[in-house]
Structure 1
Amino acid sequence: MKARSIKDSKEEVVDPAKELLWGRPGFLVRRLHQIHVALFWEECSELNITPVQYAILTTLSVMPGLDQTALAQEVGLDRTNTADVVKRLETNGLVYRLPDHNDKRTRNVFLTPQGTETVLAMHQDMSNAQDRMLQPLRPAQRKQFMELLAILVESNNHYSRTVLRGL
């Protein structure tokens, strides 16, 4: 993608940093992530839940009782960060942990009723943030963009420090 030029009294001035950076997919992916987080906060700030916390809550809403290691694999976090996030969610009354009946060292995580309410309450706001991010694209482009993102994530999943399970 060519960087846009800066017009300076009929003379075109090229922004060399933008020209260089906008040719790097990693830079653009990181920047889009920053934009998405900002949109997420604008839409979802009322409940003070981070995107990572929301990912964990959403995963538990459809896969209750995962142990923390499996939960980490589902959301693409390392076990230590997942344990920290789960602990914060537990402190806030959104999840609870129970020892696994087969392995007392393992803790299974469940949503509390308040956690379930939070997932439901945030769903529309989260959708609004995603819609705002994708708004510049036509519907067919949105579909194609999501398909291409999925291909990139699935094809490169094994390079991550935290491999997603089930890809």
Structure 2
Amino acid sequence: MSDVSARDLNRYLFFLNRRRTQFMAERLNKYGLMGPMYSFLLCLEKNHGISQDFLVSYFSVDKGTVARLCKRLEELGLILRSICDDDRRLYQLALTEQGREMLKVIHQHLNDWSDRLLAGFDQADRQAAFVLLQRMADNIT
């Protein structure tokens, strides 16, 4: 890196991630959602019927944490956990109607975050930012 140091880039990436985490926590804690629980719901929205092991792998979180958070999501009535027919050691996950309703709340807060993050950006700047972020993500996948 020439003009921008890796240190500066990492500082801003960390800052943005931390602020998003705080933003979402402030809005979702009142629903009993904490940490990556809302991310689990977003993942379930796109991947119906996944196992807890999928979440372990996808989010790089340990099995105990995933099991504990999924149990809490079930207690909140947001997901159903059922023993997988193919492998009785695994839990298969599905959103409930209440979980789908919660996703509407989550999406609204994520839209609010995006609006705040991109305030003052015109459409060309927004598109350029998206393309650059997408390229960064492609570099590490």
Q: TM-score category by the smaller chain?
A: 0.7 to 0.9
Q: Superposed, which structure 2 residues align to 1:34-49 within 5 Å?
A: 34-49=18-33
Partner of 1:65: 49
Partner of 1:77: 60
User: Matched residues in 2 for 1:87 and 1:54: separation?
Assistant: 14
Deviation at 1:48, TM superposition (A): 4.0
User: Matched residues in 1 for 2:9 and 2:60: separation?
Assistant: 22
| 1:77-102 deviation line (CA, Å, top 9, x unaligned) | 32423223212212222112111111
Indicate the structure (1 or 2) with the bigger Cα radius of gyration: 1
The alignment covers a number of residue pairs equal to: 137
Unmatched tracts of structure 1, length 5 or more: 1-20, 158-167
- State the TM-score, normalized to the length of structure 2: 0.80
Partner of 1:100: 84
User: Matched residues in 2 for 1:36 and 1:96: separation?
Assistant: 27
| 1:12-44 deviation line (CA, Å, top 9, x unaligned) | xxxxxxxxx895211110011122223334554
Partner of 1:27: 11
The answer (yes or no) to whether the contact 1:99–1:107 under 8 Å persists in 2 is yes
User: Matched residues in 2 for 1:40 and 1:62: separation?
Assistant: 20
Partner of 2:122: 138
User: Matched residues in 1 for 2:95 and 2:88: separation?
Assistant: 20
State the Cα RMSD in Å. 2.5
The alignment-based identity, stated in percent, is 24
Partner of 1:115: 99
Q: By percentage of residues, which structure has more helix?
A: 2
- State the TM-score, normalized to the length of structure 1: 0.69
The answer (yes or no) to whether the contact 2:48–2:94 under 8 Å persists in 1 is yes
Deviation at 1:58, TM superposition (A): 1.6
User: Matched residues in 2 for 1:47 and 1:65: separation?
Assistant: 23
| 1:49-98 deviation line (CA, Å, top 9, x unaligned) | 24621111122123211011223344x23242322321221222211211
User: Matched residues in 2 for 1:49 and 1:100: separation?
Assistant: 25
User: Matched residues in 1 for 2:6 and 2:46: separation?
Assistant: 38
